[in-house]
Amino acid sequence: MKKLGLVVLILALLAAGGWFFSQRLDPAWSVATVVRGDIAATISATGAVLAEREATLAFQSAGTIEEVAAAVGETVTAGQVLARLDATDLELAVRQAEIGVRQAQAQLAQLQDGPSASDLAAAQAALASAQEAYQQLLKGVDQDQFAAARAQVEQARVQLDQAQQAYDKVKDRPDVGMLPQSLQLQQATISYEAAEAQYRVATKGSTPAQLAQAQAQIAQAQASLDRLTQGPSQAQVAIAQAGVDQASLALEQAQRRLDNAVLTAPWDSIVTVVNVVSGTLAQPGAPAFQIADTSRFHLDVQVDEIDVAAIAPGQDATIEIDALPDRPLAGQVSRVAPASDMLATGGVAYRVRIDIGNPDAPLRAGMSATVTIIASTRKDVLLIPNRAVQIERETGRTFVERLNAGEPQKVEVRLGLRDDARVEVREGLAEGDELAIRTISTLERLQQTFGGF
């Protein structure tokens, strides 16, 4: 059996070898015709679908969350309340600041309006009283005042004697200290001593210190009257105005803190994340909500530095969404980044934004997509297959093999735009020319693979 198998294998190899040699002796050609048509140079890139804009919202101050008014997936409009903090203390702070503003404004108005008639009359009366008191000190005590002071002393002595006699009648009693006679005696004694002191003051006359004090009172009353009649100075008005400004600023800050206790949507959007719960403590700056504007979508793709020079805003693009394989979408380049990004692989690329022009497509942020950007187009030009082009390695010149009387002849050509299958010919060929494209035989393919026979 082993010998029979070996014989069969040898016969098969001999048959295959004969077929290979027949292929070697009969090379094949395919023919391509130069035609006119349109061609576009394209650049492809991949990325993810992004919402028109996204935002993370957070409270700017700490506080207890009183209400959470939006849920994940809910559509909200600009200005709609998403959540609010307990604002009791903040409202009180605003009211207190409002009172401060009114007080400061009233003080400024009072200063600018000038003194009232009653204020002037009171100031004038105070000055006249101080002057009269000073003159009285200069004159000293007249006879009438002296007689009145002496009479008060005599009257106090009579009252003291009466109180002493009443006390003597009960002084031997053990509870004498609790009797009214004891209290009356004490009061009469104090009144007598006070009358004598007043008498001594009246008979002694004015001292230099009393005169100086009276003069100071006159000067103080005159200064008060002058301030009222002359009006406020510029500095006083400026200080009062600064008080109003400071109070207004405090009110603005208090109102701002109150406003920040309410979290609202900045624009029409969909809530994508909610990180807060009613009744818990909100931390300033901690993400509370994430929202996305899904009215439009776009792609941000990285384009290699070699290709980015051919891309400009306004160019059309075709977008293929992995989740929508049978529904290609139209797009347009809207922005090319002016600065490059360094890729993880070490390469340099530029971020290009492509706006998606199909608003009714069932898109969601994060979907994978491939975009083909139409960098440039040419219409009604000569086109040939890419595989017909031969490149001379030493010079970089390009050639094709044009059929002349059934025989291929090498012709140099100048090429233009290229896509995946075809290339534009700008010089060297004419419409209708036929090109020979050599097809590699099975034998040649095996030789290239296994090293030849």
* Centroid of chain to Cα 240: 35
pLDDT digits (tens, 9 = 90+) for 407-417: 899 999 999 88
42-47+297-378 fold: Elongation Factor Tu (Ef-tu); domain 3 (2.40.30)
Q: 452 vs 111, which has greater pLDDT? A: 111
Tokens of 185: 């005696």
Confidence of residue 18 (pLDDT cuts 50, 70, 90): very low
How many CB atoms sit inside 10 A of residue 165's CB? 11
Bridge partners (DSSP) of residue 282 are 63
Confidence of residue 29 (pLDDT cuts 50, 70, 90): confident
Give the length of the chain. 453
Q: What is the mean pLDDT of the chain?
A: 83
pTM beyond 0.85: no
| Architecture in CATH of 29-39+380-451 | Beta Barrel (2.40)
Confidence of residue 347 (pLDDT cuts 50, 70, 90): confident
Burial 360-397 (b: 16+ CB within 10 A, else e): ebebeeebebbbbbbbeeeeebbbbeeebbeeeeeeee
Tokens of 24: 């070697």
d(CA 304, CA 45): 9
Residue boundaries of the structural domains of the chain: 29-39+380-451, 42-47+297-378, 95-114+234-257
pLDDT digits (tens, 9 = 90+) for 185-196: 788 889 888 878
pLDDT greater than 80 at residue 118: no
> Above pLDDT 90, what percent of the chain?
45
Confidence of residue 440 (pLDDT cuts 50, 70, 90): low
What pLDDT score does 343 carry?
82
Tokens of 251: 């009110």
What pLDDT score does 4 carry?
42
Confidence of residue 116 (pLDDT cuts 50, 70, 90): low
How many CB atoms sit inside 10 A of residue 271's CB? 19
- Nearest 5°: the CA angle 399, 404, 408 is 45
Closest CA to 165 of 155, 175, 157: 157
What pLDDT score does 144 carry?
65
